[in-house]
Structure 1
Amino acid sequence: MSINASASTANRPVSVDLTLDDALFAETDKSLLNSSSEYYYAQMDSLFPESGRARAKAFGQFFTPNYVSAPMIESIVDSLEVDPPTVLSVIDPFCGDGRLVVDFLTSLAGKDWASATEINLSIWDIDKRVLSQAEENILKAVSELALHCTVSASCQDAFSEALVKEGMFDVCITNPPWSSTKSLKKSFFDREEEYCRYKAVCESYAQMLDKIYEDVNDAKHSRIVDTNISRFGLSASLRLIRRNGICGIVMPESFLSDSTSRTLRKYLFTETNVHRIDYFSASLKPFKGADQGCVSCVMSSCEKSTNIQVQSHYENNKEVKAYIDATSLEHLAKIGYSIPLGYTTEQIQILFKLANNRELGLMPGICIRKEKDETRITDILKSKGDFTFIKGYMVNCFSMKTEGTFLSYSDFKKVPDSVYMPKIVWRDISRASQKKRVKATLVPKLYVAGNSLGVIYSKNNEENMYVLLAIINSYVFEFMINAKLANNHVSLEAMKKTGVPYVNPVDSTWITSIVSELLANESQPIEKIALLNARIGHCYGLTLENYLLVLDKFDFDKDDYRCFLLAAKKEWEECR
């Protein structure tokens, strides 16, 4: 493997030549990965010599708050209590500052049987700075808790060490690094040469991991350039525990729904016994400076999962609990074991029912795409032109506000067909903390949407776009798509995979009339929105009881919820 970054000059861009010799991977042994990791650490350490936010982000160090680790640790200790061990081998292969191990030992010390248990504890980390801190913190805790515990600290790469220490531990508890080649933007670096070297080193290391940890790959969706190496951390952690051993791990929330983790999720739910999953919303700010939620998973390396507790945690101590049984897992297998977070058991069953509707992306004549890259778009925007330009923040449900900026024919190699048609646009960027994530409206022809918007149009103009807009803005559609969203984007893929109902001519006429009113007026009476949502819910084939369960997923103002409740009762009473 070679990584060559040419020296930069003031006027010449840096070129990075990153090549991988496939013959190098003929033997996937520890020494190969170890040499790569030593180079990776040396380069990263030289790029980020000072402790701080940049170094933490580069190394993927997201230290775990106590409230995130608590339910995971409780589940692990409860499992051990079923048959208390006399000797217990424990590993944190990505120990950071050791806080997870300290919390685990503290919980363990509260059990009467733990005083008679000999604990052999191993901690690893590639960053010698945090490892030294972890060892100090853990030794202090062991002394204060009066446990029979030996501590072995080793500065090494867990990804390489896991290859030769498979099945050696009873318990693995960890939060692996979450770094990727997109962890740091160019603005973090003083010189372009440093940014290029950073990207090259990260991509090279990710490629090495991708070659050796083949069980992580999803060949259809894997892209090295934005690989989050936490997925490799999960695979390494599962290798380390012995048969009937138990693993507790903290992961990015996207792991449970993104397309790149499908293969690993399948292994998790079919080859291990997942005991519980806890989801912590981004609104809780579990990691300072990052709008990032997380999940913790507890699993044992024995028979496959049969009954999984899924608990979601939000602000103001709000919690939502669900259980996923073997039958539910069979349904989830059809969608790549994407786990709905923040749904009750009953709401998950409604999701399965709604999944029988045709997917939006499979509707005849419907196209879903992006239109115009917004990179340096301000350089070409004009006060007059051939096409009105719009972008994400200008769009809301059934409305938009333009800024009087335009593009010309000359700004395109080829003007997309969708520009010449009326189309639905929706906001791409939408954070999980928002009350409503899908916000769409209808725009006339000769409008160009930047790529902060997604675009839907009909090739044959036979589909009623007013009805489709009502469906996309509905809370039932929101209810379905939220279970698919893996990050702060409402992606094309998620939109394509979300179901839409058939609408009869009578309902189509009524819905079109209401949507026309909403599009024509700046004020949008909540009563009309509520009636429209109720009709859409009925078109989806929901019962009144199921529709109300859908509404329970969302945080309505008291008065708004009353309007939705009255509209729902009216809709189902009239259609008896």
Structure 2
Amino acid sequence: MLHVEAAIASGARHDIEKRLTGKYYTPYCVSDRLAELSMVGDRIKSVCDPFCGDGRLIVSLIERSRSEDYLKTLKHIVLFDRDAVAVEEAENNVRNALRDVSRSDVTVESKVVDTFLLPITERYDLVITNPPWEQLKPDSRDQVADSSLYKDAIRDYSKVIADSFPSAATSKKRSVGGYNINLARAGAIAAIEMTEIGGQTLIVLPSTIFCDQVSTEFRNNFLSSVKVDSLEYYPAEAKLFKGVDQSFVTISAQRGKRTGPFSLTRYKSDLSILDQREHHVECLSDTIPLSIGGREQKLIQEIQSEHPHLSCLEKDPRYRLRLGREIDETRIAESFTESNRGIPFLKGRNVNRFSFVDDGLPRICPETKKIPRSVSYQRLVWRDVSRPSQKRRVQACILGPGIVTGNSLGVAYFCAQDPELLKALLAVVNSLVFEVQVRSILATNHISQGALRKCSVPHIAFEDVSVRSKLAYLVDTISSSGFSPEIEVEVAKSYGLNRDQFFELLAPFSKLEEREVNALMERTLWV
């Protein structure tokens, strides 16, 4: 990894190698579960972990054979990693595990190598691995002295990986700053390519690459190259990786067939099973709804079959909705001014549900920063950054003309400039029914324009004057808490949902308080 050497040589922070290589070892409970998912029978003659770390994944496989007639045909184990110390530890651990189960007939081969640069000339019956998860991009927190050399090394390494694993790159037109290689995507493709046709791949991956808008090419390539048998989802709240709160998945797949229906299991934070269902893949590049249960997903599909996507409001000449962002926040402080001629500047952290905080906003000098024309409109703005674990992910409000927003906020406005239209849109976007659709699409920390465009909106909320006026009135009279059962129920009814259906859609919102659920279920609201 060229950039790692460049960073270390430049005297970066002490843990730079761990950050850049995504060096977080698989929890033992997960490695044991992967071993349970491995093939049983006489087909496994060779096993490889191309990103072996301390070898624990293969050790779990060997330990499983202690209690089962398993791996009886195994003859060869191969371990790869760029970390020489880890490779030595892995080989010792694997040899000790083999000795414990009296398998002196199995050969162990290890090699210190960057697997991403390794020509794939051999394939194995079983590949089990947890590749690095990092996005290849510079970070000011890396504290690299020679940043230009560091950035050049990242670009050079990225080009090598992109040439070998094209679908590791961020989907076209979605890369930021030209840095578009994700090592988890590259590692997944490498693992597949190292697996024999008909062999099995067992892999640990961040859940984001199956739920985000930038991994469409990866999903299409991955799911067309293997038949996924099972996918198991672990929430960030489980905190299984020390120091990293991130949701992840384990996948069991066979190479050489295309993915069809597969078993999808979701775990709770205590690792008990939340739900289990058969998931049907319609389009290989589509996101997989990992944060949504089967019943909710079925309701979402019904909603989206009956109502237009938000993007339709962009195309409809009656509304001419516009979505976008306003100014880049990079080094934004350099454009601040004390002059009253400056334009007040709002960031994502200032925005709450249905309101924003405008005390002491800094001002942008219009001579040093181009102010977009959208500032003259009344706009709906929403926070771009929002963690999946938050009680409510969508945080939106209405912003009047004359205030400019940074790119930590998304912006939407109607060219028609009808205040009631915008308030109706705010009621819909901030609603539980809209947000459950967002959650079904995303598992990342970003609420993208692309995700919102794919969510359906109730056409009656915009076309029926009485419904639109009622939603606008409810937005005007909402309390400072930002919670309104009246708005939630009115929007739900606009979608055509009844009380029981709405209750089912509340399942993903585990942080709603009992009193809030009771208020939402108040029967008088549903008359």
TM-score by length of 2: 0.90
User: 1:350 aligned to 2:304?
Assistant: no
* TM-fit CA distance, 1:318: 5.5
Give the aligned residue type for 1:300. Q
Matched, 1:402 2:358: yes
Deviations 1:361-380 (A, max 9, x none): 33131111111222333341
Q: Which amino acid aligns with 2:27?
A: P
Misfit runs of 4+, over 6 Å: none
* Equivalent residue in structure 1 for 2:220, among 266, 276, 286: 266
Instruction: Provide the rounded CA distance (Å) in 2 between the counterparts of 1:496 and 1:389.
Output: 26
CA distance in 2, matches of 1:287, 1:464: 45
Change (3 A) 1:269 1:570: farther
CA deviation after TM superposition for structure 1 residue 489, in Å: 1.3
- Cα RMSD, aligned residues only: 2.5
- The answer to whether the aligner puts 1:56 opposite 2:18 as a matched pair is yes
Inter-CA distance 360–318: structure 2 relative to 1 (3 Å threshold): farther
* SS in structure 2 of the partner of residue 500 of structure 1: coil
User: What corresponds to 2:201 in structure 1?
Assistant: 247
- Cα distance in 2 for partners of 1:386, 1:218 equals 37
Equivalent pairs, count:
512
Counterpart among 152, 155, 177 of residue 200 in structure 1: 152
Deviation string for 1:420-477 (max 9, x for gaps)?
1111111111112211111111121112112211111111224711110011100111
Q: 1:385 to 1:286 in 2, by over 3 A?
A: farther
One-letter amino acid of the counterpart of residue 346, structure 1: R
Q: Secondary structure at 2:16's aligned position in 1? A: helix
- Alignment correspondent of 1:103: 60
Counterpart in the other structure of 1:140: 96
Question: Corresponding residue for 1:7?
Answer: none
Mean Cα deviation higher: 152-161 or 199-208: 152-161
Amino acid at match of 1:517: T
Give the counterpart letter for 1:444 in structure 2: G
Partner of residue 125 from structure 1, selected from 77, 81, 85: 81
Distance 2:477 2:442 in 1: 30
1:48, 1:54 within 8 Å by CA — same for their partners in 2? no
Deviation readout 1:461-501 (Å, 9 max, x if unpaired) = 24711110011100111101112224211122222222211
1:476 maps to 2:426: no
Is the contact between residue 101 and residue 173 of structure 1 (CA under 8 Å) also seen in structure 2? yes
- Distance (whole Å) between structure 1 residues aligned to residue 371 and residue 7 of structure 2: 44
How far did residue 571 of structure 1 move?
4.3
> Alignment partner of 1:460: what SS?
coil
What's the CA shift for 1:237? 0.8
CA distance in 2, matches of 1:341, 1:400: 31
CA contact (8 A) 1:252 1:292 kept: yes
Whether the 8 Å contact between 2:170 and 2:181 is mirrored in structure 1 is no
Q: Distance in 2 between the 1:213 and 1:65 partners?
A: 27
- On the 8 A contact 1:88/1:120 being kept in 2, the answer is yes
Tell whether 2:237 aligns with 1:297.
Answer: no
CA-to-partner distance for each residue in 1:51-98, whole Å, 9 max, x for gaps?
x6321112222211123334333211xxx22xx117521000111121
**Bigger proportion of residues as helix:** 1
1:533: how far off? 0.8
**Cα distance in 2, alignment partners of residues 423 and 161 from structure 1:** 51
* 1: CA distance, partners of 2:500 / 2:481: 30
Q: Which region of structure 1 is more displaced relative to structure 2, 363-372 or 374-383?
A: 374-383
Residue equivalent to 2:287: 338
Q: Which amino acid aligns with 2:480?
A: E
Q: Please state how far the C-alpha of 1:236 moved relative to its aligned partner.
A: 1.2
**1:538 counterpart letter in structure 2:** K
TM-score for the superposition, normalised by structure 1: 0.82
Paired residue for 2:396?
440
Aligned residue type for 2:234: F
Are the aligned partners of 2:165 and 2:189 in contact in 1 as well (CA < 8 Å)? Answer: yes
Aligned equivalent of 2:502: 547
Distance across 2 between alignment mates of 1:523 and 1:510:
20
Percentage identity across paired residues of the two chains:
26
- The structural deviation recorded for 1:131 is 1.1
The residue correspondences of 1:7-156 to structure 2 (distance < 5 A) are: 43=6, 46=9, 53-76=15-38, 80-81=39-40, 84-85=41-42, 88-114=45-71, 116-148=72-104, 149-156=106-113
> What is the letter of the counterpart of residue 563 of structure 1?
A
Following superposition, the deviation at residue 275 of structure 1 comes to 1.0
Contact kept, 8 Å, 1:320 with 1:342, in 2: the verdict is no
Q: Which residue of 1 aligns with 2:332?
A: 377
In structure 2, the gaps of 5 or more residues are none
In structure 2, distance between residues paired with 1:378 and 1:177: 35
**More displaced stretch, 345-354 vs 546-555:** 345-354
The whole-number CA distance in structure 1 between the counterparts of 2:93 and 2:476 is: 64
For 1:388, the equivalent position in structure 2 comes to: 344
Could you tell me how far apart the structure 2 residues matched to 1:505 and 1:545 are?
27
Amino acid at match of 1:57: R
Alignment pair present for 1:510 and 2:470: yes
AA aligned opposite 2:67: G
The SS at the match of 1:359 is coil
Q: Check 1:545–1:522 CA distance in 2 against 1; reply closer, same or farther (3 A cut).
A: closer
The 1-side partners of 2:143 and 2:201 are apart by: 37
Counterpart Cα distance in 2 of 1:442 and 1:98: 53
Partner Cα separation in structure 2 for residue 86 and residue 254 of structure 1:
32
Equivalent residue number for residue 311 of structure 2: 361
Cα distance change, pair 355–135 in 1 and its aligned pair in 2 (3 A): same
* Runs of 5+ unmatched residues, structure 1: 1-36
